[in-house]
Chain A
């Protein structure tokens, strides 16, 4: 069965620290997609990144970077030099579905608190 595990429930850091959010997934599909979303206190889920199962290149976008490793079924997210505005709940998600990869399966989320 498809499943996404985010073992870290809450993380607290001081501004400018680097922080890594872990995500482990399970799927029997050979083709799948992985996503990260941010949910700030306002509540709206904001799309951050998408990765397909055939592309294991790491990606960097500003202070954000993602490490995808199929061998360990992990898709970890690192924020470098964290800022207070990074405080939010972060969700990792797996896209699966017959014939079109429709629904997202979310992890339980990691709440990140960045203190000044």
Chain B
């Protein structure tokens, strides 16, 4: 199966530490998205890449968050100086170009801040 792959599945860390998540999209998909989902809510958009270019960032993405997609393939999302409020499920999705193309999601990385 060559769906969207995210690592790690779970991350537990102490407040103030830095964390990095990885997303490997479906290979022919040039669009990649990051979302955050908290308990009982729908996913919220964080950022979007087309190939290696980061084209849109949500206001939710504070200065402590940075995302990269250096070669237009996998992407990383880093959170520096984590805070309690960062605890959430971080979802990655990818799609083919075009507005009507569905986004295909990975299983997510669940972040817990102690």
A residues sitting closer than 8 Å to B (CB atoms) are 4, 31, 33, 35, 37, 42-47, 50, 52, 91, 93, 95, 97, 100-109
Contacts and interface: CB of A to CB of B under 8 A. Distances in A.
B99 A47 contact: no
A33 B99 contact: yes
Closest 7 CB pairs of A and B: A101-B99, A106-B42, A45-B105, A103-B45, A47-B102, A44-B107, A102-B48
A91 B42 contact: yes
- How many B residues are at the interface, by size bracket? 20 to 34
Contacts of B58: 103
B91 interface: yes
Which residue of B33, B89, B103 has the most chain A CB atoms within 10 A of its CB atom? Answer: B103
A36 to B, nearest CB: 10
B70 interface: no
Given A43-B108, A102-B48, A93 B31 contact: no
B107 A33 contact: no
Interface of B: 31, 33, 35, 40-45, 48, 55-56, 58, 89, 91, 93, 97-100, 102-108
A106 B106 contact: no
Contacts of B35: 104
24 contacts: A31-B99, A35-B102, A37-B105, A42-B107, A44-B105, A47-B103, A47-B105, A91-B42, A97-B48, A100-B97, A102-B48, A102-B56, A103-B33, A103-B48, A103-B56, A105-B45, A106-B42, A106-B43, A106-B44, A108-B40, A108-B41, A108-B42, A109-B40, A109-B42
